[in-house]
């Protein structure tokens, strides 16, 4: 009986490790994300240099420096697409975010490298962000419910949503 319980425990542990390992990975490539967003014809990327006041705003919003000197983005027909990274607990999570008219049109996890928190990639969670905008204090204009056991990944996605909205606001206000 005791041996049977140990075997069952070993099998269940193996299944859990397998499922956890499958949570990590690339869910969608950057190229596929952009092709989907722009119906197979993504525009040429543009570059936003992070300096001066914008750099300081990003630091305040994230609570740390972004770690890059520039960010590429894609813009067409009143929409911007951003591919951004933020640390969950220990490793970067890659997000794709689409902004239209100062509101989130789409947000998704492109690559996840953490051992937990991968549930943020599912539509039941990302749907909360659709239509969200940025208030004057750089907070999202709606509450986002968390996921038990995925707190740090949830926080990372919320920071990225705010960052994409801030960056979109910046490029939209400085457009000719």
Q: Is 32 inside any structural domain? A: yes
Domain tally for the chain? 1
The backbone torsions φ and ψ at residue 63, rounded to the nearest 5 degrees and listed phi first, read 85, 10
pLDDT > 70 in the chain, percent: 86
Q: Is 123 inside any structural domain? A: yes
pLDDT at residue 176, rounded to an integer: 57
Q: Is 169 inside any structural domain? A: yes
pLDDT at residue 115, rounded to an integer: 85
Q: Is 151 inside any structural domain? A: yes
pLDDT for 67 beyond 90: no
Q: How confident is the model at residue 31 (pLDDT cuts 50, 70, 90)?
A: very high
> Reduced to 3 states, what is the DSSP secondary structure of residue 55?
helix
Q: Is 5 inside any structural domain? A: no
pLDDT for 142 beyond 90: yes
pLDDT for 56 beyond 90: yes
End-to-end CA distance of the chain: 76
**Residue of 67, 114, 73, 94 whose CA lies nearest to 157:** 94
Average pLDDT over residues 147-167: 94
pTM for the model: 0.84
> Reduced to 3 states, what is the DSSP secondary structure of residue 96?
strand
11 vs 104, which has greater pLDDT?
104
Residues 104-109: contacts with CB within 8 Å, 24+ apart? 104/129, 104/130, 104/131, 104/132, 104/133, 104/161, 104/164, 104/165, 105/79, 105/130, 106/37, 106/130, 107/157, 107/160, 107/161, 107/164, 108/27, 108/28, 108/33, 109/27, 109/157
Average pLDDT over residues 20-26: 62
pLDDT at residue 6, rounded to an integer: 43
Q: Is 164 inside any structural domain? A: yes
Q: Is 8 inside any structural domain? A: no
pLDDT for 124 beyond 70: yes
Residue 134, domain extent = 26-173
- Mean pLDDT (the chain) is 88
pLDDT for 141 beyond 70: yes
The backbone torsions φ and ψ at residue 20, rounded to the nearest 5 degrees and listed phi first, read -65, -40
pLDDT at residue 88, rounded to an integer: 87
Q: How many CB atoms lie within 10 A of CB 106?
A: 17
Q: Is 106 inside any structural domain? A: yes
């Amino acid at each position: 009986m005791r041996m049977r319980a140990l075997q069952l425990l070993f099998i269940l542990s193996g299944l859990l490790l397998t499922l956890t390992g499958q949570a990590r990975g690339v869910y969608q490539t950057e190229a596929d994300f952009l092709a989907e967003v722009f119906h197979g014809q993504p525009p040429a990327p543009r570059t936003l240099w992070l300096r001066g006041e914008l750099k300081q705003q990003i630091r305040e919003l994230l609570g740390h420096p972004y770690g890059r000197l520039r960010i590429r983005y894609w813009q067409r027909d009143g929409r911007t697409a951003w591919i951004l990274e933020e640390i969950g607990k220990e490793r970067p999570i890659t997000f794709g975010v689409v902004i239209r008219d100062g509101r989130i049109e789409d947000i998704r996890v492109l690559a996840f490298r953490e051992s937990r928190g991968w549930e943020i990639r599912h539509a039941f969670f990302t749907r909360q962000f659709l239509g969200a905008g940025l208030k004057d204090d750089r907070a999202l204009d709606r509450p986002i419910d968390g996921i038990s056991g995925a707190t740090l990944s949830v926080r990372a996605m919320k920071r990225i949503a705010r960052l994409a909205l801030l960056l979109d606001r910046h490029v939209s206000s400085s457009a000719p």
